Amino acid sequence: KQEVTQIPAALSVPEGENLVLNCSFTDSAIYNLQWFRQDPGKGLTSLLLIQSSQREQTSGRLNASLDKSSGRSTLYIAASQPGDSATYLCAVPSGAQKLVFGQGTRLTINP
Amino acid sequence: DGGITQSPKYLFRKEGQNVTLSCEQNLNHDAMYWYRQDPGQGLRLIYYSQIVNDFQKGDIAEGYSVSREKKESFPLTVTSAQKNPTAFYLCASSSDSFMNTEAFFGQGTRLTVV
């Protein structure tokens, strides 16, 4: 059974810092991994989808890496801004029609 | 703009009442999903549909029902059999299976039992 873990559950950093969010999964036979952002009371916004054949995927100030053999992915946020404050979730497919989510990391960027 | 629209944003249900949550997408996606989000429990799959007129139970389908009569629409009914319906409900869609493509989510409906 695939399990996804995100540590830490919460992170608070000053504005301008570069930071890394972590995601680990128990079954390394994944097809892809997706990172989402969720603002309070809102739905999920897809940030990056990284395929199993890729090691990195970039979008603006965001960079996601994937190491299947170790069961880990990281989301790197460069030059953080207060607008980056949100909960970040990672998810991997478990079968064709189900995503398994981590519990999320609640990120606060302090001005 | 292409996307997923969920309505209403807030919904209040009395004990013993059935309520229906709406989900509409204009992304031309074949697959649609319903997830439930509770604090401390993450997201859990309720139902999914890979094609019109076909749907399958997810991990927590008891007390819920769905229909898929149109490609664009996948409404979720929370029945009186659902004993703890207070939660945040999220609808999602994808063009293909999750093994191949990205998932997109709506803005959610918060359901509260009063």
Whether A100 and A88 have beta carbons less than 8 Å apart is answered as: no
Residues of chain B below pLDDT 50: none
CB contact under 8 A, B98 and A44: no
Which residues of B fall below an 8 Å CB-CB distance to A?
4, 6, 31, 33, 40, 42-43, 45, 48, 50, 56, 58-59, 90, 92, 97-108, 110
State whether residue A76 is helix, strand or coil.
strand
Distance CA B105, CA B107 (A): 7
CB contact under 8 A, A46 and B104: yes
**Which comes out higher in pLDDT, residue B100 or A22?**
A22
Distance CA B99, CA A94 (A): 8
**pLDDT of A77 over the 70 cut:** yes
Closest Cα of chain B to A31: distance in Å?
5
pLDDT of residue B38: 94
CA distances from A55 to A2, A33, B29 (A): 20, 11, 27
pLDDT of residue B1: 63
